[in-house]
Every structure is written in C-alpha cells, then in structure tokens.
Structure 1
C-alpha cells in the first residue's frame, strides 16, 4: 500500500463529504453511558511534534470552539489494537501479564525506528496527522503481533475492524455540526503538507483505555523499551 495515495484518497473523499454535509458527528463524546474499553499497544510523538500539532489545533479552536480536540497527553499512534474497545470490557476480564509476555516475544530484538509526521488527512468524523515510515520495522512488528496473538489463545480482536497499516495520529473529532466549515477547510489546506516533525520511537506502551485514549481513563500496563542492537565484530 502506498501511504501517500491512501492518505490522499481519505482526505479528498472526506472533504467532499464535508462540503455536502455528509460528515459524521460522534454523539458518544462526553456521554456518561459510554463504557467502551479495550487494550492498545501504542507509541507517542515527541515534544516538538506535539507543539506543532497544538499550534494547528489552537487555530482550529478559534473557528470551531465546541468540537473535540485531543490534548497533548492523549495524542498517540496505535501500533496495534489488541482488544478493540467494546461496552463492558474490564481489565479484570484478562491476565495482563499474559499480554505483556506475548508482546515481549513479538518485539524481540526490535530496534528504535523513525516516524515523520507530515500533512493532514481526514475521515468523515475526524482529523488525523499523517505518519510516514522510513523502513519496514513497524510493519514487521505488526505482522509478528498478528501471528503471536493468534497462536496465544488470548482474547484479542486484531484486524476485526480493519487491518491497521498506517502510522497516523487522530487529533480532532466532530462533536457537533460545523459552524464555519469553509474556514475550517481553508486552514486544513494550509497544513495539507505541513512538516510537523520527525521523531524516533524508543518505547511503546501497552494500555487499558477508553475509546478516546483520555489520560484520566488510561492505565499503563507495561512500557516496552526499544534498544539498538549491539554487533560485536571480530
């Protein structure tokens, strides 16, 4: 899959839907009845990237103040949704240690890798920063996770909703109808190819989380450190 073509198609399709008022509003944001929880392996961008995202969101808030904007603490890249959020799932349903051991097996000898955040893409309900990978490290890890969890017998829902292939980060969700969609889209066009920064992934987190990855509902189950391989020459 060509990531740029994939992101471009998402963006163009979603812009068309916004123009025709066929976008989707997330009516569960802020609902006290929302009890969707799951388990996710994720990574987090660095400070410079977050600062650039914050500047964009600050501009969008002036136009659409009542929409849902991700806080710095909640912004992430999903490595793999191990158990996709569903109503009623609780951490007590599983033995977290079993999941940690399986991921440790999958990430064995995994070295740090880089992600470049450049430009924006959309779905009919949310805005995302585009992530681009310089090598196949993340793809290899995801494929290994698929195999190891399939063999583990543990509860999991990997690829049940869709097979994750990108390295994007969701930063905004539609909570209500647009007040000024044309002004909103104009800013998006300015940032269509904006360079948010490049960061090195040196750690990943396994978390118990709600649908929106809000810090107050997230519990870190384990942090996985990535270390450079040491080669000994003779």
Structure 2
C-alpha cells in the first residue's frame, strides 16, 4: 500500500463530505449506555508528539469547542483490533493469558519501529494524523498476529471491519454539527502537511477498551517491551 496516496484519497473524499454537510455525527460518544467493548493491541506516541498534537487541537477548540477532542491519555495507534468492540463483551468471557501468549509469539526481534506523524487525513466522522512507518516491522507483526490467531481457537474478529495497514491516530470526532465549518476546514487545511514529530516505539499495550479508548474505561492487560 502506498500510504501517502491512501491518506490523500481519504482526506479529499472526507473533506468534500464535510464541505457538503454529509459528514457523520457520532451520537454515542457521550452516551452512558454505550456498552461496546473489546480488546486491542495498540501503541502510544511520545510526550513530545502529543504536545504538538494538543497545540493543533487547541486551535480547533477555539473555533468549535463542541466536538470531541482526544486527550493525551487517549491518543493511540491501533496495531490490531483483536476483538472489535461489541455490545456486552466482558473480560470474563475470555482467558487473557491465552491472548498474551499468542501476541508474544507474533512479535519480532529488534523491530526498531519509528513513527512519523506528518500531516492530516480524515474520514466522514473524524480527523486523523497521518502516521508513516520507517520499515515493515509493524505490518510484519500484524501479519504474524493474523496467522497465529487464525490457527488458534480464541475469540477474535481480526480484519472483520477492515484490514489495518496504516499508522494513523484519530484526534477529533464530530459529536455535533460544525458551527464554523469554513473556519474549521481552513485550519485543517493549514495543518494538512504539518510535521507533528517522530518517535520510536518502545512497547505495545494490550488493553480492554471502549470504542473511543477513553482512559476512564480502558484497562491495561499487558505491556510488551520491544
């Protein structure tokens, strides 16, 4: 996959929907009755990168504070959604240690993964950072996870929604109609090629999570050092 082309296509299609008022508003994001949970293997950006991200988000908040902006504690890159969130899923339905063992088998030696956050992309419901990988190690781990879970008897829904190959991070979700849409879009376009920084991935986290990875609802199950 050519990541740059993929991100650009996604951006152009989604920004057009925002301009035409055909973007998606998430009605569940503040709901106390949302009981969609799953388990995810993820990685988290460096503090320096998160500081740069928040400076960008602060500009958007000044234009429209009624959208959902990710806090530093919630910003992440999904390595693999192992059990995609669904209503009613609970940890007592699975044996966590079995999942930890399969993930350990899927890791590779000295992956030396670095992520470069440069520019923005979008979907009809959110704004995302473009993440670029320095080598194939992250996708090699993903391929190992696919293969190893496929040959296990464990509950999993890998690739059921889509086959993940990117290193994007969602930072804004639309929870209300955009109040100053033109100003909002102009700011997005100003940051379209902004350099948010690079970082080395030192560890991966297995977490029990809600749909939005809200810190108050996330439970870290295991940390894998790379």
Question: What is the TM-score with the length of structure 1 in the denominator?
Answer: 0.95
The answer to whether residue 176 in structure 2 is matched with residue 202 in structure 1 is no
Matches within 5 A, 1:29-48: 29-48=29-48
The answer to whether residue 42 in structure 2 is matched with residue 67 in structure 1 is no
Question: How far apart are the structure 2 equivalents of 1:72 and 1:135?
Answer: 26
Matches within 5 A, 1:1-234: 1-226=1-226
SS at match of 2:18: helix
User: How many residue pairs are counted as aligned between the two chains?
Assistant: 226
Displacement of 1:134 after TM fit?
1.1
Question: How far apart are the structure 2 equivalents of 1:109 and 1:152?
Answer: 22
Question: How far apart are the structure 2 equivalents of 1:126 and 1:151?
Answer: 34
Structure 1 stretches (4+) deviating beyond 6 angstroms? none
Displacement of 1:109 after TM fit?
2.1
Displacement of 1:110 after TM fit?
4.5
Question: How far apart are the structure 1 equivalents of 2:111 and 2:225?
Answer: 9
Cα 1:118–1:65 shift into 2, 3 Å = same
C-alpha RMSD over aligned residues? 0.7
Question: How far apart are the structure 1 equivalents of 2:92 and 2:30?
Answer: 24
Question: How far apart are the structure 1 equivalents of 2:176 and 2:182?
Answer: 15
- The runs of 5 or more residues in structure 2 that have no matched partner are none
What per-residue deviation string (whole Å, max 9, x for no partner) do you get for residues 23-66 of structure 1? 00000011111000000000000011000000010000011111
Question: How far apart are the structure 2 equivalents of 1:108 and 1:52?
Answer: 30
CA contact (8 A) 2:108 2:141 kept: no
Question: How far apart are the structure 1 equivalents of 2:121 and 2:110?
Answer: 29
